[in-house]
Amino acid sequence: MTLPVLSGLRAEGASAQGVVGVLPTLTYPSHTTLVTGVSPGRHGVVNNLTFDPEQKNQGGWYWYTSDVKVPTLWQAAHAAGLSTANVHWPVTVGATGIDENLPQIWRAGTEDDRKLLTALATPGLVARLERRVGARYPQGIDETVEGDAQRVAFAEALLADKPQFTTVYLAGIDHTEHHDGPDSAAAKAAIEATDALVGRLVRAARAAMPDVTVVVVSDHGFLPVSTDINLFKPFIDAGLITLDAKGQVTGWQAMPWIAGGTAAIRLARPDDAALIAKVRGVLAAMASDPAYKIASVLDRSAIAKAGGDGEASFLVAMQPGTETGRDPAAPIAKPSVYKGMHGYVPWDPAMRSTLIVAGPGIAKGKDLGVVDMRAIAPSIARRLGASLPSAEVPAVF
């Protein structure tokens, strides 16, 4: 691959050998850690989708900043008297501390989603920027490289107004690696296209603010995947989940909360010793059965140590090549609709992500080593002259 922008930023600034992410290595938990400096178990965004065992929330995600339990970088920047902007960063609907906000949100995947996004963005911002850009802002469900290119045009327009802290999320690489696989020609093309989009953002930022610091991060790695594993079936067979004739959940005592390469197991009565023992037995039987492709099972103390879901009693980690399936009625194993997946445990080196930082005072070519993802937010806060005392680890740049 040819990546002139990222290679240039790396040469003129500092970069990590890799970033160790969070549990689970999903987009929303990771992006929230990137702007808070704390683990998901503390900031509260522990999955992409909300926990919805009876499927009443219609596939709702953690779109709303009200779910974040700790201060964010936008709030810290505001407290320091700085102006802020955002384009498409996850978990930003209703965010305080963002002056010009284009949050990530979708619902039905129809034209009405555009109305929803416009209503939830900073009042008047979408219309003002559409006039300036001369194009429509893309729907929230559009996660393609082409959608990214449209959003970059809006980010360029925002950067011309010189916000002092701006976040921009580009989703096209993730979208393509899920669809085509992380080592595919399409994925490599998406990475090269995203390199060019980053170049546009860097040029716009430096034109408006020559002393700007540029921080390029990614939220997780990727693994090829071929097989869905149905973790629900043993719970149904054990009477821990009940379904009606249509396959809808009518009751549950223990429920897998799927997250790609892992699944948290939440209990309806987490302090019930008999229920805990029963679920532990079910999981032990699954882990000993090669058909379920389970790499490990974490208990509550191990989950807490890893910074994961504080309300989960167990966590199932899958083997590479497999992911947690969504259909309770499916066979134990079936071909996955995806060719790439993440969500695996963060200590898997394949889940490591990217960090590059360039700007005044950043040593050229500096090797930051392997960086804890939680260190990025306090590092940015320090560059801003802001304070983020809730961060769990020290700054690294």
Q: Stretch 306-335: mean pLDDT, rounded?
A: 98
Q: Stretch 2-10: mean pLDDT, rounded?
A: 98
pLDDT beyond 90 at 49 = yes
User: What pLDDT is attached to residue 261?
Assistant: 99
pLDDT in tens, 132-172: 999 999 988 899 999 999 999 999 999 999 999 999 999 99
215: which residues sit within 8 A by CB, 6+ positions away?
Answer: 355, 356, 357, 376, 380
Q: Stretch 323-352: mean pLDDT, rounded?
A: 98
User: What pLDDT is attached to residue 333?
Assistant: 98
**Contact criterion met (CB below 8 Å) for 229 and 323:** yes
My answer on whether omega of the bond before 256 falls inside 30° of 0, hence cis, is no
pLDDT beyond 90 at 60 = yes
Q: Stretch 309-333: mean pLDDT, rounded?
A: 98
| Residue 281, burial from CB neighbour count under 10 angstroms (0-12, 13-18, 19+) | exposed
* CA 258 – CA 43 distance, rounded (Å): 19
Identify the CA nearest to 255 among candidates 247, 263, 244, 266: 266
Q: Stretch 64-83: mean pLDDT, rounded?
A: 99
Q: What's the mean pLDDT when you consider all of the chain?
A: 98
Q: Give the CATH number of domain 4-222+350-384.
A: 3.40.720.10
For the chain, the structural domain boundaries read 4-222+350-384, 224-341
Q: Stretch 185-208: mean pLDDT, rounded?
A: 99
Task: Please state the three-class secondary structure of 25-77 as a single string.
Answer: CCHHHHHHHHCCCCCHHHHCCCCCECCCCCCCCCCCECCEHHHCCCCCHHHHH
Helix, strand, coil tally for the chain in percent (to 5): 35, 20, 45
User: Collapsing DSSP states into helix, strand and coil, what is residue 6?
Assistant: helix
Greatest Cα pair distance, the chain, in angstroms, is 64
User: What pLDDT is attached to residue 139?
Assistant: 86
* CA 12 – CA 212 distance, rounded (Å): 13
Q: Stretch 42-46: mean pLDDT, rounded?
A: 99
Helix (H) or strand (E) holding 351: none
Q: Stretch 221-232: mean pLDDT, rounded?
A: 99
* CA 350 – CA 332 distance, rounded (Å): 25
pLDDT in tens, 284-312: 999 999 999 999 999 999 999 999 999 99
* CA 347 – CA 270 distance, rounded (Å): 27
User: What pLDDT is attached to residue 134?
Assistant: 98
Burial call 266-278: b when 16+ CB within 10 Å, e when fewer? bbeeeeeeebbeb
Residue 247's pLDDT band (boundaries 50, 70, 90)?
confident
Instruction: Retrieve residue 213's tokens.
Output: 């610091």
% of the chain with per-residue pLDDT over 70 = 100
Instruction: Retrieve residue 127's tokens.
Output: 């219309």
User: What pLDDT is attached to residue 131?
Assistant: 98
**Contact criterion met (CB below 8 Å) for 324 and 229:** yes
| Architecture of the domain made up of 224-341 | 2-Layer Sandwich (3.30)
